[in-house]
Amino acid sequence: MFPFSHAFESPSCTSPISGDHILATRCSLMSLWALLMADTHPDILPPEPTGITRSRFRFTPTQRLVLGGISCATLLGLCTWGVSEFFSRRGVLSMLASLIGLGVACVAAIGILVMVVQLAHCSRKGLVVGVGIGVLLVVAIAMHLVFPMQQPTQIAAPITHERPADWRTVKDWQKAELAPILEQFPNNTLRIVVTSSAPDETVDYANQFKDFFHAHNWNVIGPETAATSQIVQNIQLSLSEQYWGKPRPEGFSAIESQMRFVGLKLRSSFVIDPLVSPKELVMWIGPETPPGFPEHVPLSLGMACQHPLQFTDETTHFFGHPKDFVRWVRIQPQNNSHFVAGQKVLVVLSKPAKSVATSGQFSVQALGTVMPRPDALDVTMTKDLKESETLDMKIVSDEDLRVKCVVDRSQP
């Protein structure tokens, strides 16, 4: 009836009185209980057989060295980042953030120390790690004390520029009249030059023109400072000598006409300048003169003796009324060369000339001041001269003048 009862027999069930009905029932119930308990505990397994051992995976020395190197490199990067954060936050950003960076760096350094000690064959690893951690903590505390937080720099509020009431300004209505002309001739170049002794008012006035022209698609150079020997008052416009006796560029003429129309205090006419680029309009700006002040003698932009020629000059005075001064000038060609037809020479004078005697060697045009009072002579050779033959000129003036320099303009 209970086939497994014999496996769970109790001593009390081995009574010799086998025919006792009560005892048999009792033993049967006990056997059934034992069987049920065995079914509800399926995890009870038989003992492991003897003679069998479990195996564990172990890293080879090479693998341990590689893994240790990778771990140390990662920790080193983390330590570097922490130190960088510590110094960058030491400014005026955050004390807490700088301490967090220092803490990360310290923990990473400790990790590197432990990793190196583990990889090394050290007999006292615990002592070495303990001493190393102590040293790292001391270094971290010292860094915190040596590099204090910086105090924020107080930035001064910008000073608002208030233009005095008596300073010149380009009025809004004047800009409204000039703007269409500038828009009609874009991408031209304006060079602004102020006198060397220009006060703040003149510089401010020049910058107004700079901003206005630039806002309307013009290329603006300057304001530049003129040499101390050059004086200009109000506004003077200069053009290239290329336009001497020829029509001015339409855009430049329109600007000059419109500036005069809106009442800007301008010189009576353009000034022809040998050193001005044909693509540039030069605007000289100086202090404003009072009403009735005489117009100043015009100047040439950046007049300089480039590629100078040797010359001699002397003055002869002729008595009479009015008195005339004649300057005899002899210009020598470059070494081992000669003047050729078409060659150009610029003769710069200290004062305006009255006239130049005609010659079969050359023709003359006036530069600087409008004829008949030129202070620079544009000389063009009309024939070839012999080798080493001088170019002879006779310049007549009301005052004794001298030749500043002679420029060979045939050179590049």
For the chain, the three-class secondary structure string (H helix, E strand, C coil) is: CCCCHHHHCCHHHCCCCCCCHHHHHHHHHHHHHHHHHHHCCCCCCCCCCCCCCCCCCCCCHHHHHHHHHHHHHHHHHHHHHHHHHHHHHCCCCCHHHHHHHHHHHHHHHHHHHHHHHHHCCCCCHHHHHHHHHHHHHHHHHHHHHHCCCCCCCCCCCCCCCCCCCCCCCCCHHHHHHHHHHHHHCCCCEEEEEECCCCCHHHHHHHHHHHHHHHHCCCEEEEEEECCCCCCCCCEEEEEEHHHCCCCCCHHHHHHHHHHHHCCCCECCCCEEECCCCCCEEEEEECCCCCCCCCCCCCCCCCCCCCCECCEEEEEEEECCCCCEEEEEEEECCCCCCCCCCCCEEEEEECCCCCEECCCCCEEEEEEECCCCCCCEEEEEECCCCCCCCCEEEEEEECCCCCEEEEEECCCC
- For 122-160, b/e burial (b = at least 16 CB within 10 A) is eeeeeebbeebeeebeeebeebeeeeeeeeeeeeeeeee
For residue 168, what pLDDT is reported?
92
For residue 156, what pLDDT is reported?
46
Given the structure tokens 């329109």, which residue do they identify? 254
pLDDT in tens, 272-287: 776 677 888 989 888 8
The rounded Cα 355 to chain-centroid distance in angstroms is 53
Alpha carbon distance 207, 222 (integer Å) = 9
For residue 356, what pLDDT is reported?
86
Alpha carbon distance 239, 248 (integer Å) = 8
Alpha carbon distance 53, 75 (integer Å) = 38
For residue 210, what pLDDT is reported?
94
Given the structure tokens 């107080």, which residue do they identify? 154
For residue 323, what pLDDT is reported?
67
Q: What is the pLDDT along the chain (412 residues), one digit of tens a residue?
A: 444 444 444 444 544 444 455 555 555 556 555 554 554 445 455 565 555 555 555 667 776 677 777 777 787 887 888 777 777 666 655 677 777 877 888 887 887 777 777 777 666 777 777 877 888 788 878 777 777 665 554 444 445 567 888 899 999 999 999 999 999 999 899 989 887 777 888 899 999 999 999 999 999 988 887 766 667 788 988 888 778 777 888 889 999 999 999 999 888 888 877 667 788 898 988 888 888 887 766 655 555 566 678 888 887 765 555 567 888 899 988 887 888 998 888 888 877 888 888 888 888 877 665 555 677 788 888 999 888 888 999 888 877 788 888 888 776 5
pTM over 0.85: no
Cβ atoms of residues 226 and 195 within 8 Å: yes
Alpha carbon distance 321, 410 (integer Å) = 40
Alpha carbon distance 113, 103 (integer Å) = 15
Residues 6+ apart with CB under 8 A from 305: 348, 404, 405, 406, 407
- For 366-378, b/e burial (b = at least 16 CB within 10 A) is bbbbeeebbbbbb
Alpha carbon distance 400, 405 (integer Å) = 16
Cβ atoms of residues 198 and 287 within 8 Å: yes
